[in-house]
Amino acid sequence: MDLHQVQISYETDQDRLLIKFAFIDAENEKKRQEIKVHFTRRITLQFWPTVLEAMTKQISLNKPAAAHASHDIVQMQHEASVSQMLQSGGFDTPYESESDTWPMGKLPLLPKTIHFQMQANHPLKIEFNLPDGTGFEIAMGERALHGFCKLLQDAVAKADWGFELEMPGATQEPIPAHLLN
Angle subtended at Cα 22 by Cα 56 and Cα 76, rounded to the nearest 5 degrees: 25
Q: In a 3-state reduction of DSSP, which class is residue 37?
A: strand
**Using one digit for the tens of pLDDT, what is the confidence trace for 100-151?**
889 999 999 999 999 999 999 999 999 999 999 999 999 998 889 999 999 9
pTM: 0.85
Residue 60: per-residue pLDDT: 87
How distant, in Å, are the alpha carbons of 45, 47, 100 from that of 141?
22, 18, 25
- Taking the C-alpha atoms of residue 34 and residue 98, their distance in angstroms, rounded to an integer, is 9
What's CA 134's distance to the chain center, in Å?
21
**Using one digit for the tens of pLDDT, what is the confidence trace for 68-109?**
788 888 888 888 777 877 777 677 788 887 788 899 999 999
DSSP-derived secondary structure letter, 166: -
Residue 29 has pLDDT above 80, yes or no: no
Residue 86 · residue 150 · CB < 8 Å: no
- Taking the C-alpha atoms of residue 1 and residue 28, their distance in angstroms, rounded to an integer, is 10
What's CA 145's distance to the chain center, in Å?
5
